Amino acid sequence: MKVAIVGMGWYGFRPSTPEVSFREMVFEAASRAYAEANLDPRKDVDTFISSQEDFWEGISIADEFAPDQIGGYLRPTFTVTGDGVQGILHGIMHIKSGISKVTAVEAHSKASDILTIGDIVEFAMDPIFLRPAAPPNFHFLAALEAKAYQRRTGMTEEDMAEIVSIEKRNGFGNPRASYAANLNVSDILSHEKVAEPLRRPDIADFVDGAVVVVLASEDIARSLTDDPIWVEASTFTETNYPGYAELGEAGYLRGAYSQISKRKFDGYFVDDRYSFKLLEHLGVFKADPLALLREGQLGEGGSAPTNVFGGLLSEGVPLEAAGLTLALEAREYLRKGYSSAVVGSWRGVPTYTGMVLSMWR
Amino acid sequence: MIRYVPKAKYSYSAGQAQSVFLNGLKEKKILGTVCNKCKKVYVPPKMYCEECFKPTDGWVELKDEGIVHTAIASFVSWTRDRLEEPIISGTIKLYGSERDYVFPGMFHRICTTYDKVRDMSIIGAKVKAVWNEKRVGSIEDIQCFKEV
């Protein structure tokens, strides 16, 4: 049995959204997703999944706050402590196991409500071995990986700046790309280092936003649309401690990809919350991504079109909605007539957890 | 043993519905939203009807009076100290709704005696909000609901 995406909706994708509560933001995204799917969540959706993490919400046992805004009031609602692609993976399991024909998945970010977001990231680190030794800047964990990746591949700081420049420009025309900008390599290299080798423009900003995805079984999907987007998803956690990780190798994403059916992809949508991660993550799917960058092959029409709508460097990091944000990009890409796309998502520092979402028509 | 105090600080966006509600409290008004389809009234308000999954259709002002649905007396503080006087609180079903689905109602302190909680005579009693002179747009603008 295949599972398809039959509707997607989003709201926000701005640095702050003071006009809405997180619940109102999710309701807006859900309304758009159900309108696109032409479904009434109160009658047509069997299960609801919310992907969230208590410390991002600022509410412990935040899953109690999940149902109403996605139509799940007094209905089977299930929470996933993780990225929205992990939510999709659970939704696929709901449908393939036969307990559901239609499942809605949401993820959201109210990052602007978190006044001490760096401290929350620090709180996610190993309390005995990592936190006491950590520099007061959580980007050091990404810098460790960047340095390892540089040494292994020969990637330069100019290459990283080139990625930022391309991605920030790719965001122009993308309505979710609040951080799109016209920056050239020398603009980017003029910034001071945050954590060697990362400069401020190498690091995507946080953003508020909500994304809702409606999944359906094959028969329901075919009854709703002539052009369903079929999906397959996987997730993998490598470790929770940098000393145990193959830094710069994206082992978490390779582990996830190893579980997915192999197919040719027309486009790649990978977590680039740190510039170098675009290459590290693309390398899971394509050989020698650094050469592809230098040869100008990452744009539409190239041999490895990657984040052609700007990725997270342009759209921002919407916490657990990051994977679904990339899925929105992949969906846009398929709507242009392409046959397949892949999302390579990551939960960000301090995690070593990755997700793959394969999408095809 | 490794000690660590998390530095978790938040500034919660009240959003459209709750912002109007909180501003209403400054004016001694208790405002709710109503769904014209199912007639459900939401206090505290929501901008969407969870039952019909559609935007709510407008605002209604409820009386700052109602009846006590249930009440408790708490003798222990958040830090587990024994309180000299119990804190009495409960849920109050407010007057002013066309549809009686559990509530529209509020959880708040109730100005009454422990004896009335213990013998349950407070349940079903009519109560009215006691407003602070200085109101800032907070649920704390109401001191308590007092028997009338």
Amino acid at B132: N
Beta strands in chain B (DSSP E): 30-34, 41-42, 48-49, 54-55, 58-62, 65-76, 82-94, 105-111, 126-131, 142-147
Reported as a pLDDT band with limits 50, 70 and 90, residue B9 is: very high
Please name each of the domains of chain A with its CATH number. Answer: 3-115+207-231 (3.40.47.10), 124-205+232-360 (3.40.47.10)
Distance CA B55, CA A30 (A): 12
The sign of the torsion formed by the CA atoms of B129, B132, B133, B135 equals: negative
User: What pLDDT was estimated at residue B95?
Assistant: 80
For B65-80, give one letter per residue: b (16+ CB within 10 A) or e: bbbbbebebeeeeeee
The sign of the torsion formed by the CA atoms of B114, B117, B119, B123 equals: positive
DSSP per-residue codes, A232-292: EEEEEE--SSGGGS-TTS-HHHHHHHTTSPP---SEEEE--SBHHHHHHHHHHHSS-HHHH
User: What pLDDT was estimated at residue A177?
Assistant: 98
Quick one: average pLDDT of A161-169? 98
Q: Select the residue of A20, A27, A123 nearest B13 (Cβ to Cβ).
A: A20
Distance CA B18, CA B25 (A): 11
Quick one: average pLDDT of A174-199? 98
Bridge-partner residues for A357, per DSSP? A233, A343
Q: Select the residue of B15, B16, B51 nearest A73 (Cβ to Cβ).
A: B51
- How many domains would you assign to chain B? 1
Q: What is the pLDDT of residues A307-359, one digit of tens each?
A: 999 999 999 999 999 999 999 999 999 999 999 999 999 999 999 999 999 99
Q: Select the residue of A20, A68, A73 nearest B15 (Cβ to Cβ).
A: A20
Q: Is residue B47 part of a domain?
A: yes
Range of the domain at B133: 15-147
The conformation of residue A205, written as its DSSP 8-state character, comes to P
For the ranges A18-27, A128-137, A175-184, B132-141, which has the lowest average pLDDT? A128-137
User: What pLDDT was estimated at residue A270?
Assistant: 98
Quick one: average pLDDT of B35-56? 93
Q: What is the pLDDT of residues A94-126, one digit of tens each?
A: 999 999 999 999 999 999 999 999 999 999 999
Q: Is residue B122 part of a domain?
A: yes
Residue B44 CB partners (closer than 8 Å, separation 6+): B17, B18, B21, B32, B106
B10 close contact with A: CB closer than 8 A: yes
Q: What is the mean pLDDT of chain B?
A: 92
Quick one: average pLDDT of A205-230? 97
| Burial class of residue A52 in the structure, from the number of CB atoms within 10 Å of its CB (0-12 exposed, 13-18 middle, 19+ buried) | buried
Reported as a pLDDT band with limits 50, 70 and 90, residue A35 is: very high
Amino acid at A211: V
Reported as a pLDDT band with limits 50, 70 and 90, residue B79 is: confident
Reported as a pLDDT band with limits 50, 70 and 90, residue B96 is: low
For the ranges A159-173, A243-257, B87-101, which has the lowest average pLDDT? B87-101
Residue B102 pLDDT more than 80? no
Q: What is the mean pLDDT of chain A?
A: 97
Q: Is residue B79 part of a domain?
A: yes
Residue B99 pLDDT more than 70? no
Q: Is residue B1 part of a domain?
A: no
Other Cβ atoms closer than 10 A to A66: 22
Beta strands A267-270 and A208-217 are: unpaired
Residue to substitute from B12, B13, B56, interface A, most A β-carbons within 10 A: B13
